[in-house]
Amino acid sequence: MKVVIIGGVAAGPKAGSRIHRLCHEAEVTLIEKGEFLSYAGCGLPYYISGEVKEQKELMCTPIGVVRDPVFFRQVKNVRVFNRTEALRIDRQRKKVEVKDLESGKLHDVPYDKLVIATGSRPMIPPIEGVNLKNVFTLQKIEDSEDIKNALAENKAKDVVIVGGGLIGIEMTEALIKKGCRVTVIERLPHILPMLDEEMVCQVEQYLESKGVKVKISTAVTAFLGKERVTAVKTEHEEIPCDFVILAAGVTPQVRLAKEAGLEIGVTGGIKVDERMQTGDPDVYAAGDCCQMYNLITRKPCYVPLGSTANKQARVAANVICGLNDSFPGVIASTVCKIFDFNVARTGLSEVQARQEGFDVVTVLSPAPDKAHFYPTAQLIILKLVVDKKTRRLLGAQAVGRGVVDRRIDIAATAITANMTVDDISHLDLTYAPPYSPAMDNLITACDIARNKLDGLFESITIKEVKEKVDRGEHFFFLDVRSPQEYNEVRLENTTLIPLGKLRARIAEIPKEKEIITFCKISLRGYEAARILQASGYKNVKVMDGGIAVWPYEKIVNHS
């Protein structure tokens, strides 16, 4: 069996290696346009920052062997043509026409089975000056070398990142560590559109605290300069810069598939079934060039990630070698590190869930990631999105300096298994003070959701409270924290009655008004609401998340 694979970064090498392990008699040929093979594109920001010291570390095995053509031939029995471009797929003759980019020679490579793993390419916005020198993208190793060279020209740089997605935000840390002054420009209302507003606001505030200028709802209109870029022009201003990184997203590379008559899906990726087969039973596709399906909505989606590419490649290899396997879909589980701040999400955001027609209950739950008395405990904020009808978990998001990936990985498992918040709240998760509170953050968040679903209290979002304040609505805004906490930081138009004194001072609270309670994380706010309800107060709400997640201006009293 002759297997040809087009693409040598993530999915291609994974498919080739797996096919060799399962079918030793298979003749596997891998075609890659670039020089480098099987490298970790997601590691490029850390190579630029210097955390990854050498380029070769991005394409080494765990024991330090570089994955080059010799390695693939000797260890994987895969013949590699790198610096070779696949020009055309002839499905009738079952051949791939290729061009050696060094000699210019053309030749055909025959196949019995073909795997298309052509990946994605950076989106280049059609903006004046986009082709100026020092306007970079970041996808290939060569791109990282160009950026490193630009950084080496001077000790300090003014850098503009166009696009507030994962790559753009991860690059901020690398550039700040290199002494740069960084501005992020995002045309949408917020960076990281995978997050809901109250969560992404935490990230934006954190970036600003690190010296990153974040300009949202801002469109770039031109890149200025003669030969090299000197400034970025927006609708509002001109921002001087030494170089620009375009991080406006990626689009699947499907030219070969499209010209070969294979179906392209509504997302722009190659349409495949759960066995990673295209409409041609002898042609498979895997990785960033493919359309995917969302496990919750069952609708097509496009979420290009190296982890997904490797899983899809394994499925394609298994099916080619006669095993019964399938790739069910994705729920867009994502994590990123920004300095010492962590961001993760999985499933549907609140915005997505409502767009899909779900009637949802949401939870904001800030708490330490470890036992509160443990010295390395750090605050994390969890948000859950729950289907009100079925009580199923639909999505989860987490931000903060503490451990978030563990919670989101558990949530991703629960979503995949169609678990309810009731099921999750009884999970037998590990506990020791250095690792988690006795009631893990995710379990606590699920219990809050259960309380809401069971009608034990009514919540109100921070955004809704802010809108009430801005409209000048009259309500009783009850802060039940301690006087010390209140003096350190407080909100406007609030009345302080510490929880321990609430029963004694309950007559001070008017029954005819809407009452909104809160504390640091709204646990005491919830207890206050229960006390008020037991005393006959009917219109009581708890502000979700408390002052810990209030993203707007606070009043600070240093007296």
Q: Annotated catalytic sites, by residue?
A: 42
Residue 52: exposed, middle, or buried by beta-carbon count in 10 A (0-12, 13-18, 19+)?
Answer: middle
Kindly report the length of the chain.
559
Cα–Cα distance for residue pair 453/391, rounded to 1 Å: 8
Alpha-carbon dihedral angle through residues 205, 207, 209, 210, given to the nearest 10 degrees: 170
Cα–Cα distance for residue pair 515/529, rounded to 1 Å: 9
Cα–Cα distance for residue pair 330/346, rounded to 1 Å: 9
Cα–Cα distance for residue pair 277/284, rounded to 1 Å: 4
Cα–Cα distance for residue pair 303/291, rounded to 1 Å: 8
Cα–Cα distance for residue pair 466/471, rounded to 1 Å: 9
- Which two three-digit tokens encode residue 153? 């020209």
- Which two three-digit tokens encode residue 416? 């995949």
Cα–Cα distance for residue pair 433/436, rounded to 1 Å: 6
- Which two three-digit tokens encode residue 476? 């009783």
Q: Name the 3-class secondary structure at 441.
A: helix
| Integer CA distances (angstroms), 451 to 334, 455, 458, 502, in order | 28, 6, 9, 22
The gap from C-alpha 525 to its chain's centroid, in whole angstroms, comes to: 31
Cα–Cα distance for residue pair 490/475, rounded to 1 Å: 17
- Which two three-digit tokens encode residue 451? 């309380």
Q: Which is nearest to 385 in space by CA: 420, 350, 423? A: 350
- Which two three-digit tokens encode residue 382? 């969890």
Cα–Cα distance for residue pair 211/274, rounded to 1 Å: 45
